């Protein structure tokens, strides 16, 4: 999901220097002990953003990070799938969106903003109560939040990352994008590629290297993805938040220089063609 959102990320452990990152993500099922919780409290107090989802930080005794998230753990729901309605602030379509994975129920504390609410189904779909669809239709908006925000901490009640990987529902990725946009509105790099394209940014001494990647993938067998055709993408707009104007921008390995514009810390170029893979160097 983060690759498709064009968000740069690193996998870190509990010993990492948290202050090096604008946002930390605790995805879906991450256990949080007291030592890690204390470090996260210090990180948030210093201005860091935190995105928590699913059962991360939850125990039988409650929500370890409830003071940061502004919510108290209330238990498990009576249904395995549900719907959610997003508030206009998230910028998502105003409708009931199905969530195929079980949420965690939390009660928001005073001062916590509710950005989306859980919509309960008519009944749990079992052999006793049959529904011809994969899920039971939505019934009523519940008092339980799907998404909350308190300061720079956002909590998503459902395991949205694993749900997107398992089911591929676009709205799950859009929900992740919307939450990250509230915590870190300025992206490091953006490229005008299809949703299947990827852009990553690496630092090499006095230059940044952007990697643009796009290969159409087709599922032609039950368990194998095939890449056969390479489709050239012309005139791809690439923006990198460099902070200062590069002395030159060029294609690698072609060494072809590109015209650039620079405004508000962002360098913008037009990559003539991305044929599968193209590197672009921003040199200082």
Q: Is 134 left (phi over 0), alpha (psi -120 to 50) or beta?
A: alpha
User: Along the chain (284 residues), what's the average pLDDT of each consecutive run of 10 residues?
Assistant: 95 95 97 95 98 95 94 94 96 96 97 98 83 85 97 98 96 98 97 95 95 94 92 97 97 98 98 98 97
Residues 36, 116: Cα–Cα separation, whole Å:
28
Q: What is the pTM of this model?
A: 0.92
pLDDT computed for residue 254 by the predictor: 97
Residue ranges matching CATH 3.40.50.880 in the chain: 18-183
Residue ranges matching CATH 2.60.40.1180 in the chain: 189-283
Dmax over CA atoms of the chain, in Å, equals: 69
H/E stretch holding 68: helix 66-69
Residues 2, 278: Cα–Cα separation, whole Å:
20
Quick one: CATH architecture of 18-183? 3-Layer(aba) Sandwich (3.40)
Q: How many residues make up the chain in this entry?
A: 284
pLDDT computed for residue 15 by the predictor: 92
* Topology, domain 189-283: Immunoglobulin-like (2.60.40)
pLDDT computed for residue 134 by the predictor: 81
């Amino acid at each position: 999901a983060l690759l498709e959102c064009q968000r740069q990320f690193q996998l870190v452990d509990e010993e990492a220097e948290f202050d090096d990152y604008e946002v930390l993500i605790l995805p879906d099922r991450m256990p949080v002990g007291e030592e890690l919780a204390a470090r996260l409290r210090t990180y948030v107090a210093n201005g860091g953003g935190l995105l928590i989802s699913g059962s991360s930080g939850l125990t039988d005794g409650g929500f370890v990070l409830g003071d940061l998230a502004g919510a108290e753990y209330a238990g498990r729901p009576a249904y395995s799938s549900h719907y959610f309605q997003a508030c206009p602030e998230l910028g998502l379509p105003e409708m009931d969106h199905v969530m195929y994975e079980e949420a965690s129920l939390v009660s928001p504390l005073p001062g916590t903003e509710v950005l989306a609410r859980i919509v309960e189904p008519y009944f749990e779909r079992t052999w006793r109560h049959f529904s011809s669809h994969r899920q039971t239709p939505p019934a009523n908006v519940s008092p339980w939040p799907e998404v909350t925000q308190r300061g720079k901490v956002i909590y998503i009640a459902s395991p949205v990352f694993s749900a997107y990987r398992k089911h591929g529902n676009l709205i799950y990725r859009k929900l992740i994008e919307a939450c990250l946009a509230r915590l870190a509105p300025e992206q490091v790099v953006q490229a005008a590629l299809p949703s299947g394209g990827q852009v990553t940014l690496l630092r090499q001494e006095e230059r940044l290297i952007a990697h643009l990647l796009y290969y159409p993938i087709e599922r032609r067998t039950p368990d194998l993805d095939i890449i056969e055709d390479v489709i050239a993408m012309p005139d791809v707009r690439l923006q990198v938040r460099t902070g200062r104007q590069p002395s030159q921008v060029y294609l690698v390995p072609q060494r072809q220089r590109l015209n650039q514009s620079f405004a508000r810390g962002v360098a913008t170029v037009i990559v003539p063609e991305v044929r599968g893979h193209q590197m672009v160097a921003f040199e200082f």
